[in-house]
């Protein structure tokens, strides 16, 4: 595919540390183009989160390759992989992964600080995103003082703040009410359209599926359906 951001070739992931080997990802071939807004769907245990983690370099495939933005991350050493993630990928985790001793604002700006962006750029971007996700008045609260839904919105703001090439989002609306989920999806759709950020979601949420322009269904670690809406 022209302008491909993600290319996965014959990915397998087998966990063999239990009584019997478990195949979580089974021969996945997947290409995601620049600017896509794509949902990975399927039942629990279908391999969605494992596939996202392999694509993002958080987990290693048992075999196969992953190419991201023209670079093969398969086989990268850990220090190169960390630097690559820092500069190219935004992550939204099911468990939020916020730093408990930092405020919402400090968590949202964390990646930009690691990138050594100018202070003025950080302030402008983070203020804009916290306002858009409805947390402007919660900016100085720490994660323990926020609800699950508020923590999720901080995690999304952090993922988007550094203007990554693409965002991997694992159940990004799982803890949100209807209005908050719609608002968050509007923010992500706007950044997708205006900044060209590529989004790949893992989700059970019909609200996300309805907004996605491509829906890929996984079952037992295999892609069984790949439907483009445009």
Look at residue 64 and tell me whether its pLDDT is greater than 50. Answer: yes
- Give the tens place of pLDDT for each residue, 100-128: 999 999 999 999 999 999 999 999 999 99
Spatial CA neighbour of 90 closest among 4, 38, 165, 181:
165
Instruction: Give all strands (DSSP E) within 69-179, no chain letters.
Output: 71-72, 89-92, 166-170
Instruction: Give all strands (DSSP E) within 77-229, no chain letters.
Output: 89-92, 166-170, 198-202, 214-219, 222-228
pLDDT in the model for residue 219: 96
pLDDT in the model for residue 174: 85
pLDDT in the model for residue 96: 86
Share of the chain above pLDDT 90, in %: 72
Look at residue 87 and tell me whether its pLDDT is greater than 80. Answer: yes
Spatial CA neighbour of 178 closest among 209, 151, 205, 214:
205
Look at residue 199 and tell me whether its pLDDT is greater than 50. Answer: yes
pLDDT in the model for residue 160: 92
User: CA 97, CA 73: separation in Å to the nearest integer?
Assistant: 23
The residue-averaged pLDDT of 1-27 equals 87
pLDDT in the model for residue 227: 96
222: confidence class by pLDDT, cuts 50, 70, 90: very high
Look at residue 54 and tell me whether its pLDDT is greater than 80. Answer: yes
Q: Starting at the edge strand that comes first in sequence, how are the strands of the sheet with 222-228 ordered? A: 89-92, 166-170, 198-202, 37-41, 214-219, 222-228
- Give the tens place of pLDDT for each residue, 146-161: 998 899 899 999 999 9
- Give the tens place of pLDDT for each residue, 166-177: 999 999 988 788
**Domains of the chain by range and CATH?**
4-228 (3.40.50.300)
**How many other CB atoms sit within 10 Å of the CB of residue 77?**
7
69: confidence class by pLDDT, cuts 50, 70, 90: confident
Q: pTM of the predicted model, to two decimals?
A: 0.91
The residue-averaged pLDDT of 13-37 equals 92
pLDDT in the model for residue 212: 96
Average pLDDT of the chain is 92
User: CA 132, CA 80: separation in Å to the nearest integer?
Assistant: 33
pLDDT in the model for residue 1: 47
And the tokens for 59? 């987990």
User: CA 227, CA 230: separation in Å to the nearest integer?
Assistant: 9
């Amino acid at each position: 595919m022209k302008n491909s951001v993600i290319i996965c070739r014959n990915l397998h992931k087998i966990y063999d540390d239990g009584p019997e080997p478990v195949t979580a990802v089974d021969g996945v071939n997947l290409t995601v183009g620049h600017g896509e807004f794509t949902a990975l769907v399927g039942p629990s245990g279908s391999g969605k989160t494992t596939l996202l983690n392999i694509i993002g370099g958080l987990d290693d495939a048992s075999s196969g390759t992953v190419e991201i933005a023209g670079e093969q991350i398969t086989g990268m050493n850990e220090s190169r992989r960390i630097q690559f993630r820092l500069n190219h990928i935004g992550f939204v985790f099911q468990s939020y992964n916020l730093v408990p001793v930092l405020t919402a604002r400090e968590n949202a700006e964390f990646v930009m600080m690691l990138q050594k962006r100018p202070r003025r750029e950080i302030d402008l971007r983070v203020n804009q995103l916290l306002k858009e996700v409805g947390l402007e008045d919660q900016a100085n609260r720490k994660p323990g003082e926020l609800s699950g839904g508020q923590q999720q919105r901080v995690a999304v703001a952090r993922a988007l703040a550094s203007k990554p090439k693409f965002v991997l989002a694992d159940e990004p609306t799982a803890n949100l009410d209807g209005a908050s989920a719609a608002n968050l999806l509007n923010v992500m759709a706007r950044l997708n359209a205006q900044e060209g950020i590529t989004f790949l979601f893992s989700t059970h949420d019909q609200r996300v599926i309805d907004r996605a322009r491509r829906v890929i269904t996984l079952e037992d670690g295999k892609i069984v359906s790949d439907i483009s809406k445009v």
